[in-house]
Amino acid sequence: MCGIFGIITDREQKLGPILVESGKRLAYRGYDSVGCATVTSDGTIDLRKGVGRIEDVSAELDFPAMRGRRGITQLRWATFGAPSYENAQPHLDSDGDMVGAHNGNVVNNVQLRELFLREGLAVRGTNDGETCVHAVERHFDRNGGDMLAAIRAAYDDLEGDYAFVITHREEHRLYAIKKGSGLVAGLGEGFACVSSDLPSILPLTRQVLYIRDGEIVVLSPQRVELYAVHDGAPIERQSERYDGPLEVAEKGGYPHFMLKEIHEQPVVAGELLHLLNGSRHVDRFLEMLTTGGDRPVYLVGCGTSYHACLLGAYYLNQLAGLAAVPVLGPQFIEQYSQSLGVADRAVFVSQSGETKDILNAVKVMRQRGGRVLGVLNVLGSTLMQASDVYLPLGCGYEISVPATKTFVNQAALFLYLAYRLAKRDTGELDALPSLLSQTLQATGEPSRQVARDLNDWRDMYYLGYGLSHPIALEGALKLKEITYAHCEGIFSSEFKHGPLSAVHDGYPVVFITAPGDEMMMINHVNEVTTRGGRAIAIAAEHTALRANVHDYLSLPPSDRFLSPILATIPAQLMAYHMSVARGLDPDFPRNLSKTLTVD
Ligand code: F6R
């Protein structure tokens, strides 16, 4: 949530286009408001900001025209303070000498604001990014105008997890600090930059430095210096070259990133399998996964990543007999922390590798001496750095806020691990990319038609049995996330224990069914259809099942372990088409952010 970018250059220039481009590459982190600030050679600050998406605000306020030698962009996902001009970032200090922006959450924001107001500082809004700027301003005067000392002192006052970037108009330097939220620095010819995430840096330079918690970065055009916040001592670390792909945030002919990313699934699944087959990390990962004796292994995730954990638990148990407990990040802390010990292992699954709910759980695991195994998509993320061993998802950047291809690869990765533990031939999984392509082909148009038929409904259910239950949850999450309709995913046998009362004429219920579960599912279908409900099946061809439902989204034949992964595609497509049919933008659903670095 929220994205920051800052740059310092060796000559005055039109920084606006760079700030806008970097901002667009961070837009998935927040789009409630956006702002840019530049500082010219003579120390003049130009600050422009407004509520809305970067494309619109930039056009209205002419961001591209902004000139300077230093620049900051911020994309906001609102937590403290409603989206408004005052709460949009960057923020000025009281007398307009400093400008800064943050991401993350300052949890004692309210108390600090009251203190600042009592002290006579010019507090303009209620946003905690502004609090970061005032916290530095306040210590700047007390520390004789020393920015580094002021930031170190402010760090002690600002509780929570955040990263911020700040500059003083009279000093040709840019400062940034990391405490819990992601921060990466880049160094290029005649400039240095810092950002919440790599995508905004890579078009400018591939020479990067991953910043760690408790570090202050001081950027000048030729240098990136690091200092420890606790004692101010310099830290030696060389920048490294990032050789990964430079993903261009383009839609490649698709109307939305979500549709593009859904169609990328066959390719990224193939790349993941290739990556896993050649990875030396897999053996270490499996060894660590199985060293806990009788202790269950925890699979920890949030949202879509949690659904992958649920499916992973089925795979590990059904294929390899391993007891796995799927659990939400905060639930892991609340429900299991007291019984964790050195023999425990947990797989933490996160697309971004920055989800605070996950990082909190990692911290608890560390405190209890257990092992941290990471599964993540964003290389260099905090989760990657905090893991004893990690496996990458290899999806490239996922721009669209709803997770699609990363879910498929999380599921495929768990299936691969289960195969390895079961000593089954992982070559059997090589069929997955082609099966995913066939599924796209077979269910593309039918999913659109069903979506069109159902589009007037604001309420529906997704039901799945066993292995398909996680996909029912995922289908329901996608649908509510991007259509704003209510949709619930349920274990199909549970439906009769209460929710069945919702069913009336035409009420839509989607039944996701893996091979072998069809006859069981027919019972659950009939409980709905006899009460007037409309049953939509997502399953491989099965004559008896087809005879009992109204609509059939037919999957290519596969086995019961691959089938749930294939079933994800029509569920994603139905949600996508319903969102578009409602005139919504599935890439940027209201109120959401792709990276949630807050509690
Ligand atoms: C839904 C979605 C979210 C994320 C969740 C966890 O489409 O994207 O539910 O799955 O916020 O994010 P990561 O995987 O980055 O930890």
pLDDT tens digits, 65-103? 999 999 999 999 888 889 999 999 999 999 999 999 999
Count CB-CB contacts under 10 A for residue 145: 13
Distance 302 CA to ligand 1 centre (A): 6
Average pLDDT, the chain: 94
Mutate to test the pocket of ligand 1, among 1, 304, 383 (most ligand atoms within 8 A of CB): 304
Please indicate whether residue 379 or residue 239 has the higher confidence score (pLDDT): 239
Distance 484 CA to ligand 1 centre (A): 17
pLDDT digits (tens, 9 = 90+) for 54-74: 999 999 999 999 999 999 999
Reading the block at residue 358, the tokens are 């996950």
Residue 538's pLDDT is what? 98
Reading the block at residue 242, the tokens are 């990032």
Q: How far apart are CA 385 and CA 380, in angstroms?
A: 7
Distance 416 CA to ligand 1 centre (A): 22
90: cis peptide before it, omega within 30°?
Answer: yes
Distance 354 CA to ligand 1 centre (A): 10
In this prediction, residues 518-544 reach a mean pLDDT of: 97
Mutate to test the pocket of ligand 1, among 197, 307, 351 (most ligand atoms within 8 A of CB): 351
- Residue 8 Cα to chain centre, angstroms: 28
CB-based contact 18:69 (threshold 8 Å): no
Residue 379's pLDDT is what? 82
Active site (annotated) includes residue 2: yes
Count CB-CB contacts under 10 A for residue 253: 7
Distance 548 CA to ligand 1 centre (A): 35
For atom 1 of ligand 1, the residue with the nearest CA is 402
pLDDT digits (tens, 9 = 90+) for 482-498: 999 999 999 999 999 99
Residue 244 has pLDDT above 80, yes or no: no
Indicate which atom in ligand 1 lies nearest the CA of residue 478.
Answer: 7
Reading the block at residue 515, the tokens are 């091979």
Of 509, 585, 493, nearest to 549 (Cα)? 509
Indicate which atom in ligand 1 lies nearest the CA of residue 302.
Answer: 6
Burial call 388-412: b when 16+ CB within 10 Å, e when fewer: ebbbbbbbbbbbbbbbbbbbbbbbb
Locate the DSSP E strands across 158-222. Answer: 160-168, 174-179, 184-188, 191-195, 207-210, 215-220
In this prediction, residues 552-577 reach a mean pLDDT of: 98
Which residue carries 């930039």 as its tokens? 58
Indicate which atom in ligand 1 lies nearest the CA of residue 406.
Answer: 14
Residue 140's pLDDT is what? 95
Which residue carries 């979506």 as its tokens? 451
In this prediction, residues 109-131 reach a mean pLDDT of: 95
Q: How far apart are CA 598 and CA 162, in angstroms?
A: 9
Count CB-CB contacts under 10 A for residue 367: 10
For atom 3 of ligand 1, the residue with the nearest CA is 303
For atom 10 of ligand 1, the residue with the nearest CA is 304
Q: What share of the chain is helix, strand, coil (3-state, %, to 5)?
A: 40, 25, 35
Query: 421 CB contacts (<8 Å, ≥6 apart)?
Result: 286, 289, 290, 316, 319, 320, 322
Burial call 73-97: b when 16+ CB within 10 Å, e when fewer: bbbbbbbbbebeeebbbbbbbbeeb
Three-state secondary-structure class, residue 562: coil
In this prediction, residues 426-450 reach a mean pLDDT of: 96
Which residues, judged by CB distance below 6 Å to any ligand atom, belong to the binding site of ligand 1?
A: 302-305, 350-352, 355, 358, 402-403, 477, 481, 596
Residue 246's pLDDT is what? 65
Pick the catalytic residue: 24, 49, 356, 594? 594
CB-based contact 204:189 (threshold 8 Å): no
Sign of the four-CA dihedral 588, 589, 594, 599: positive
Count CB-CB contacts under 10 A for residue 250: 10
In this prediction, residues 316-320 reach a mean pLDDT of: 98
For 104: left if phi > 0, alpha if psi spans -120 to 50, otherwise beta; the answer is left
pLDDT digits (tens, 9 = 90+) for 159-208: 988 999 999 999 999 999 999 888 999 999 999 999 998 889 999 999 99
Work out the percent of the chain whose per-residue pLDDT is above 90.
87
Distance 425 CA to ligand 1 centre (A): 31
Work out the percent of the chain whose per-residue pLDDT is above 70.
99
What is the C-alpha end-to-end distance of the chain, expressed in Å? 11
Distance 443 CA to ligand 1 centre (A): 25
Task: Name the least confident of 14-18, 181-185, 511-515.
Answer: 181-185
In this prediction, residues 577-598 reach a mean pLDDT of: 90
Helix (H) or strand (E) holding 270: helix 265-277
Residue 1 has pLDDT above 80, yes or no: no
For atom 9 of ligand 1, the residue with the nearest CA is 303
pLDDT digits (tens, 9 = 90+) for 248-301: 556 778 999 999 999 999 999 999 999 999 888 999 999 999 998 889 999 999
Residue 143 has pLDDT above 90, yes or no: no
Residue 21 has pLDDT above 90, yes or no: yes
Residue 559's pLDDT is what? 95
Burial class (CB in 10 A: 0-12, 13-18, 19+), 160: buried
Three-state secondary-structure class, residue 501: helix
Residue 247's pLDDT is what? 58
Residue 396's pLDDT is what? 85
Pick the catalytic residue: 2, 36, 302, 487? 2
CB-based contact 522:550 (threshold 8 Å): no
Indicate which atom in ligand 1 lies nearest the CA of residue 378.
Answer: 15
For atom 5 of ligand 1, the residue with the nearest CA is 303
Helix (H) or strand (E) holding 334: helix 329-336
CB-based contact 357:365 (threshold 8 Å): no
Mutate to test the pocket of ligand 1, among 197, 305, 471 (most ligand atoms within 8 A of CB): 305
CB-based contact 99:92 (threshold 8 Å): yes
Crossing angle of the two packed helices 54-61 and 16-24, in degrees rounded to 10: 160
In this prediction, residues 235-255 reach a mean pLDDT of: 79
Mutate to test the pocket of ligand 1, among 328, 355, 477, 479 (most ligand atoms within 8 A of CB): 355
In this prediction, residues 322-345 reach a mean pLDDT of: 97
Distance 475 CA to ligand 1 centre (A): 14
Residue 13's pLDDT is what? 96
Task: Name the least confident of 241-250, 404-413, 457-466.
Answer: 241-250
CA atoms within 13 A on the CB side of 50: 13
Q: How far apart are CA 385 and CA 378, in angstroms?
A: 11
Burial call 203-226: b when 16+ CB within 10 Å, e when fewer: bbbbbbbbbebebbbbbebeebbb
Query: 194 CB contacts (<8 Å, ≥6 apart)?
Result: 4, 5, 6, 7, 165, 174, 176, 183, 184, 185, 186, 211, 217, 219
Residue 397's pLDDT is what? 83
Confidence of residue 105 (pLDDT cuts 50, 70, 90): confident
